[in-house]
Amino acid sequence: MRQRVAWLIGAGIVLVAIGVAVLLVMTAGSRAEPSSPATATSSASVTPTRSATPTRSATPTRTPTPTATPTPTARPGTALVTRGEGGTVRMLVAGDSLAAGFFASQKDRGFTSLVADAVGPVEMTTAAQAHQTLTTVAAITDVPDDLGLAVIELGTNDVGLPTPVADFEQQYVGLLDRIRASSPKAALVCLGTWTSDGAAYDEAIARTCAARGGVYVGLADAFSTSAYHGPEGRDSFAGTGDYFHPNDTGHRAIADGVLKALTY
């Protein structure tokens, strides 16, 4: 009997001890600090957040107005070459043997061809007569409409004849006025005489050309440069070259003078 009572008392003590332990564990769990967000783990899956559909502005976006291409203007002291459809330049050259390329080694090394190649593409009209004066060349010059560039190289043979300066100037004015009547916007370049004796003619050329919006290019300095002549007897496309007419280097110098007078 005593033994059974002792067993019951021992079992009760154990049960009480277990109950106390459970109570302590539950109390400790309720007081525990929550896990730090940085170290806490979760088995719950996260649903991705969809981007909000952008709202359409009530005011339509305006298309920027294109900036207009500025009209080209000539650099100071130069004439502006005007171009036609496709960028082609209608070009007129009126002159004597220099304009014909005498006595460059090849025709495409004459100053007329060099200028055309640089300005190009061109639609060329050439009126060039060797050993002829302004009167003769002007008479055969057919001035096209809508020229973009006109180069006049006349007067050298008038110096040698000589043509009276007043008559020369009157005829020169007539040729320039024909060009301006058909092509008021054409770039106009007037070359001086290829000689050291043409100062009076050069002055008339420069004055009448400037009065019509052209640019004068003197040739006296180039003529006085010995490297631009000869040697006499050289081969050329136009026959045996003399010392008077420019060689390839001289034609290059004349072409460079014309090109410096242009904006193209």
Q: What is the pLDDT of residues 47-98, one digit of tens each?
A: 444 444 444 444 555 555 555 445 678 899 999 999 999 999 999 999 999 9
For 103, the token pair is 């006595």
What pLDDT score was predicted for residue 50?
44
The larger pLDDT score, comparing residue 52 to residue 241, is at 241
| Peptide linkage before 121 cis (omega within 30 of 0) | yes
The larger pLDDT score, comparing residue 73 to residue 223, is at 223
Instruction: Work out the angle at residue 89's Cα, subtended by the Cα atoms of residues 84 and 93, and round it to the nearest 5 degrees.
Output: 140
What pLDDT score was predicted for residue 247?
98
Quote the pTM value.
0.74
**Pairwise CA distance, residues 260 & 54, whole Å:** 60
pLDDT over 50 at 215, yes or no:
yes
Three-state SS at 135: helix
b/e code 182-200 from CB counts within 10 Å (16+ = b) = ebeebbbbbbbbbbeebee
pLDDT over 80 at 36, yes or no:
no
**Pairwise CA distance, residues 36 & 55, whole Å:** 39
**Class of residue 161 by CB neighbours under 10 A (exposed 0-12, middle 13-18, buried 19+):** exposed
Cα separation values, 28 from 18, 22, 24, 25, Å: 15, 10, 6, 5
- Cα torsion 108, 114, 118, 122 to 10°: value is -60
Mean pLDDT of 194-221: 98
At 2, the pLDDT band (50, 70, 90 cuts) reads very low
